[in-house]
Amino acid sequence: MFNQLQPVPTDPILGLMTEYKADNNPKKVDLSVGVYKNEQGDTPVLAAVKKAEEYRLNNEQSKAYLGMAGDVRFNEAMTNLLFGEHDVVKSGRVKTAQTPGGTGSLRVAAEFIARCNPTAKVWVTNPTWANHISIFNAAGLQVEEFPYFDFDTMGLKFDQTVETLSKVPAGDIVLLHACCHNPSGMDLNLEQWQTVADIAKQQGFTILIDSAYQGFGEGLNEDAAGLRLLASQVEEMIVCSSCSKNFGLYRDRIGAISIIGTDPAKAEIAFSVALGVIRAIYSMPPAHGADIVATILSSQELTSLWHQELDEMRTRINGLRSFVVDKFKEKGVPGNFDFIAKQNGMFSFLGIDKESIATLKKDYSIYIVGSSRVNVAGVNDSNADYLADALAKVLNK
């Protein structure tokens, strides 16, 4: 059976991660992997997480299964974090289940969509997180792209977005990023979110929100404003969320899927189908990450500490954006990179060609994804000059 198999190409980002680890250059710079890094280049465990883990270690009473929906406290806390004091919560129209990471929630969503409508097409932004396409294809769903990011202006192609979405039929799915668009860093404003809501109501397609970076853009509530606006106006919606970034729980794989129905009864039916999907994929989610998040969000002291740490991460990222732009100007890097300071989250495109990206890796041990997407959080005081000097030399050739 195995003799007929052909090797699967390594994921480009994971491949760069392996190359970076094997690189002996003391000046090497990793701008490829999408994890938050502090000034020392580390991805630390948050103090709020440490305190919650200590509490868990001393108070855990059982290792029994959680059940298919996972930790009830976590699900309630994530529902409140995403939707706040929203009518969909008060009316019982939203149901949430714990999943193994944001990727796990997207895979559950994909299989759920396939059960609802196996011929549905999933429309994603061009570009989008590369794994989106693989996840939905794995569930047997066809993926289409709609215009979103403009590499010429380093802004949005919103007129073309509207033109394409206005032709998406009922029964299809449109995937949008709640905030901190990965990989472009370009987000919709509230007026544009309203336009999308109007089109969704007119066309009858279903919106799927990927909320992986809540709190990394402008703030916890500000970053949820678009999905909350949509939730107030559409009858059905799916939200996939992750705690990897805002809680720093990358390796603990904790996320959630939230389903909004037209009324509580229909939401309950849809949720039962989602639980059937979960049962068939992994049966029960792991407990650790969910308990940590639930413990933090149920404690005023730990919530306050977490807010402080999240604010520090967001402030660092936003400050780095302006810092990078100024450093590029100082070192004479050709081109206008002002757009970087106007974007949100960890990612931006530099807009440089693949040959330059290859030269940066070969000659300077600077690792950048082939699309020119960079993780801004990978920049710090100790490598900024080296990065800018290298870019100036390579791009001025």
Residues that are catalytic = 129, 210, 245
Token pair of 243, please?
């705690």
Instruction: Determine what percent of the chain falls in helix, strand and coil, rounding each to the nearest 5.
Output: 50, 15, 40
Q: Are 376 and 383 in contact (CB under 8 A)?
A: no
Does a cis peptide bond (omega within 30 degrees of 0) precede residue 127? yes
DSSP secondary structure letter of residue 215? T
Neighbouring-strand partners of residue 242: 255
Give, to the nearest 10 degrees, the angle between helix 130-138 and helix 101-116: 40
What whole-number distance in Å separates Cα of residue 94 and Cα of residue 237?
A: 9
What whole-number distance in Å separates Cα of residue 190 and Cα of residue 223?
A: 11
Pairing of strands 173-177, 121-126: parallel
CA 360 and chain centroid, separation: 27
Amino acid identity at 229 = L
**Nearest one of 89, 127, 119, 375 to 259, comparing CA atoms:** 89
**Nearest one of 111, 366, 353, 65 to 238, comparing CA atoms:** 111
**Nearest one of 391, 318, 313 to 357, comparing CA atoms:** 391
Token pair of 191, please?
């007026």
What whole-number distance in Å separates Cα of residue 189 and Cα of residue 195?
A: 10
E-state strands within 167-287: 173-177, 206-211, 237-242, 255-260
> In whole angstroms, how far apart are CA 105 and each of 84, 236, 239?
20, 17, 9
What is the phi/psi pair of residue 211, to 5°? -110, 90
Strand (E) or helix (H) holding 146:
strand 142-147
